[in-house]
Amino acid sequence: MDCTASSAMPAASRIRLSQLPERLKLLDIDEGLRIEFADHKMFVNKNLSGSFVVQFDNKKCQYLDSAKIIRLAKKSSQIWAY
C-alpha cells in the first residue's frame, strides 16, 4: 500500500490581494494562508473558536483580526492558500 499519496500536502495556489478578505472569511481550520514578504513569511490559520492565529518567522504566534492581516498583506509580494 502506497501511503505517500494520501499523506501528501495539498498543492498551494496563489491568490490575489483582492481575494484575501473572502478567503479569510471562508478559511477552515484545516486550511491556511502563507503571506510572503521580501524578508519574511507569515502563516495564517483559524482556530476552533474562529480566531485567526498568525505565526511569523520568529515563531511568535499572535491572534489578529482579518483587517490587520489584510493591512499587513498589502505590503507583501505573494499570498498562497494551502
In tens digits, the chain (82 residues) has pLDDT values of 444 444 455 678 899 989 999 999 999 998 999 998 888 889 999 999 889 999 988 788 999 899 888 888 887 678 888 8
Range of the domain at 64: 11-81
Q: Is residue 3 part of a domain?
A: no
Q: Is residue 60 part of a domain?
A: yes
What pLDDT sits at residue 26? 92
Q: Is residue 2 part of a domain?
A: no
Of residues 39, 34, 49, 46, the one with CA closest to residue 81: 34
Q: Is residue 48 part of a domain?
A: yes
What total of structural domains would you count in the chain?
A: 1
Q: Is residue 5 part of a domain?
A: no
Q: Environment class of residue 4 by beta-carbon count within 10 Å: exposed (0-12), middle (13-18) or buried (19+)?
A: exposed
Alpha-carbon gap, residue 53 to 46, rounded angstroms: 6
In the block, which residue shows the cell 483580526? 65
What pLDDT sits at residue 77? 73
Q: Is residue 4 part of a domain?
A: no
